[in-house]
Amino acid sequence: MIDSFWDVILWMLAFYVLMMFFWLFIMVLSDAWSNPDTGGGAKTGWTLLVIFFPWLGILIYMIANGNGMAERSMKKKQAQEDYIRQVAGSGSSATELATLSDLKAKGDITQAEYDKAKAELLA
């Protein structure tokens, strides 16, 4: 089936291009449909362009919306990280109380700040 080394290289390149196409196709459509600034007609237009003229549609979308796509991606990533931090918490109450005690002992926080933080922690 495969006759030479260069056939293997050509098949690998074709597989890479195919995977890159599917990744870009999914990324462009998901960004187009999740963009709150784009109306329904524009979303439909982008979808039809990307479906009927895939490489051209992806290229045009990336040129027209590349910066916005990157910003939305960063915002989603930051929101996800914030959510994980919020859900995971910073540790047990005992650990946080020990940290507060250390800060107070070092003089980094005052007694009033310590009391306020302790009350919020225990509430």
The widest CA-to-CA distance across the chain, in whole angstroms, is 79
Task: Supply the pLDDT for residue 11.
Answer: 93
Contact 72, 31 (CB under 8 A): yes
The structure's pTM equals: 0.62
- Listed by start position, the domains of the chain span 5-89, 91-123
pLDDT in tens, 60-98: 999 999 899 999 999 999 999 988 887 776 567 777 888
Segment 1-23 shows an average pLDDT of 90
Segment 35-51 shows an average pLDDT of 94
Task: Supply the pLDDT for residue 15.
Answer: 97
Q: Which residues of 53-63 are buried (b: 16+ CB within 10 A; e: fewer)?
A: eeeebbeebee
Q: How far apart are CA 79 and CA 75, in angstroms?
A: 6
